[in-house]
């Protein structure tokens, strides 16, 4: 849960690097929250809560994705490859799942070993 809250606290931080664990824990908690809110919406007959949640986490989701790309040594502009149907999503998935660069890069020191 700390990983999720950490991303939300740094909601508009597009600079720096994000570890794989930070990114994937955010994705996991984001998915769980979206499913729970969707089920609640089905029960009450309105998806209002779900849509508010989605709007609230768009910027943090983009920011952690860009920081994750920075950790792999890529520019945040690589995120736009996701606009290419099917192939772009697969390429982004590979980038997000790959190990970050062990050494410091132009986006900062390795967050795995930072104090």
Q: What is the 3-state secondary structure (H, E, C) of the chain?
A: CHHHHHHHHCCCCCCCCCCHHHHHHHHHHHHHHHHHHHHHHHHHCCCHHHHHHHHHHHHHHHHHHHHHHHHCCCCHHHHHHHHCCCHHHHHHHHHHHCCCCCCCECCECCCCCCC
What is the pLDDT, as a whole number, of residue 4? 86
Chain segment 73-115, per-residue pLDDT in tens:
999 999 999 999 999 999 999 999 999 888 888 888 888 776 5
List the domain boundaries for the chain: 2-97
């Amino acid at each position: 849960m700390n990983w999720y809250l950490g991303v939300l606290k740094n909601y508009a931080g597009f600079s720096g690097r994000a570890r794989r664990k930070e990114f994937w824990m955010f994705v996991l908690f984001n998915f769980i929250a979206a499913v729970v809110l969707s089920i609640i919406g089905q029960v009450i007959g309105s998806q209002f809560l779900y849509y508010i949640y989605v709007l609230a986490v768009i910027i943090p989701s983009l920011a952690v994705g860009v920081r994750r790309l920075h950790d792999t040594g890529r520019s945040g502009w690589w995120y736009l490859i996701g606009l290419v149907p099917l192939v772009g999503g697969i390429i982004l998935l590979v980038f997000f799942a790959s190990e970050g660069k062990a050494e410091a890069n132009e986006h900062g020191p390795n967050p795995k070993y930072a104090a």
